[in-house]
Amino acid sequence: MKVLANDGISNEGKLALEKAGYTVITDKVDQADLASYVNAENIEIVLVRSATTVRKEVIDACPGLKLIGRGGVGMDNIDVAYARENGRTVINTPASSSQSVAELVMGHLFAGARSLHHSFKNMESGDFSTLKKRYAKGTELRGKTLLIVGFGRIGQSLASYALGCGMHVKAVNLTPCTVDISLGEIQGIGEIKVPITATSDLQAVIGEADYISLHVPKQADGSAVIGAKEFELMKNGVALINAARGGVIDEDALLAAIASGKVAFAGLDVFENEPNPRKDLLNNDNIATTPHVGAATVEAQDRIGLELADLIVKQFGVQVPA
């Protein structure tokens, strides 16, 4: 069977598939040419990340396509229900990138709290005395309250890091739940676990947060999870991180909240208009930006590639040459 990894796959994942007898193609095919390429090359498995979309028109145009795989968590770039209704298998790797995304969020939290995202750009001015005064009002994360909106694997991984830093953690989830968050093994004590109970009522807890991190999928109706109404309920000086999906924060409302002082800073890894985010977000001194790299660590990519390979082999078995 031929596999097109159109947005790439780790070398470990590629080798695992090839060892199992699959032909893996990593050539990048333009979105407009995807269906014709799949048909011409007899591709039966298409693997994507964030860049490539597999919509109804591609599914309809490719009768030989058997499996669509998403390396990562969200599958909003695939018409999942339609694909499954039409006999295609759809897989993703929700666990593989959790730690990497959580670590990026912690990086944004530390950077924002100490203005690292802004101060480094001004050091070359040489005016050390002025700069020291300007950036001498940082805050500590310890003792502050982090609200995690979306308490799945990534949210739970982030909770572990935040608790380890001495933060108070609150959580919101579509379905209320209590999760024991592991802080790891402590020598002489054993594994330490902290129970976190997530509520489904965002508005009831949003005003208690010093920091808010979003880990929810893009909403089916396109609406924002955080908009003007939610910003009004937040503390003054709150910080907001979005490493989930563009559009779950209303970007106009965010800029207004920053201008008013309601939001002290934001860290954005995702945007409504990717890969060309609006310039007033990128140029805002109180917003730190990264180019949708939450899962882009060497370790996560290796885990994603190997998990995709494992799922494919479990689905279709080892391919024995004819």
Q: Does the N-terminal peptide bond of residue 291 adopt cis geometry, omega within 30 degrees of 0?
A: no
Is there a shared CATH topology between the 2-96+298-316 domain and the 98-289 domain? yes
220-226 contacts: CB < 8 A, separation 24 or more?
Answer: 222/247, 224/248, 224/249, 224/250, 224/253, 225/149, 225/249, 226/149, 226/250, 226/253, 226/254
How is the chain split into domains, by residue range? 2-96+298-316, 98-289
Q: What is the largest CA-CA distance in the chain?
A: 74
What is the per-residue pLDDT for 40?
97
* Catalytically annotated residue among 12, 168, 274, 278: 274
* Catalytically annotated residue among 88, 292, 303, 307: 292
Selection from 275, 277, 232 nearest residue 251 by Cα? 277
- Quick: pLDDT tens for 225-274: 999 999 999 999 999 999 999 999 999 999 999 999 999 999 999 999 98
For residues 212 and 149, the answer to whether their CB atoms sit within 8 Å is yes
SS3 content of the chain, % helix, strand, coil (to 5): 40, 25, 40
Q: How is domain 98-289 classified at the architecture level of CATH?
A: 3-Layer(aba) Sandwich (3.40)
15: amino acid identity, one letter: L
**What contacts 206, CB < 8 A, 6 or more positions away?**
147, 212, 230, 233, 234
Q: What is the average pLDDT across 100-115?
A: 96
Catalytic residue status for 18: no
- Quick: pLDDT tens for 123-173: 777 678 888 888 888 899 999 999 999 999 999 999 999 999 999 999 999
Looking at the DSSP assignment, which residues form a beta bridge with residue 149?
172, 214
Entry field: residues in the chain? 322
Q: What angle do CA 87, 90, 93 make, to 5 degrees?
A: 165
Q: Which tokens in the block code for residue 37?
A: 């390429």
What is the per-residue pLDDT for 156?
97
Catalytic residue status for 274: yes
Q: What radius of gyration, in Å, describes the C-alpha atoms of the chain?
A: 22
Q: Coil, strand or helix: which one is 2?
A: strand
219: amino acid identity, one letter: Q
Name the CATH superfamily, with its identifier, for domain 2-96+298-316.
NAD(P)-binding Rossmann-like Domain (3.40.50.720)
How does residue 311 score in pLDDT terms, banded at 50, 70 and 90? very high
Q: What is the average pLDDT across 57-81?
A: 94
How does residue 322 score in pLDDT terms, banded at 50, 70 and 90? low
Catalytic residue status for 85: no
**What contacts 259, CB < 8 A, 6 or more positions away?**
none
* Catalytically annotated residue among 108, 118, 215, 245: 245
Alpha helices in the chain (DSSP H): 11-19, 34-40, 56-61, 80-85, 98-113, 116-122, 128-134, 153-164, 202-205, 228-233, 251-260, 279-282, 298-316
Give CA–CA dist 293/298, Å, rounded. 11
How does residue 78 score in pLDDT terms, banded at 50, 70 and 90? very high
> Residue 298: how many CB atoms within 10 A of its CB?
9
CA 11 to chain centroid: 22
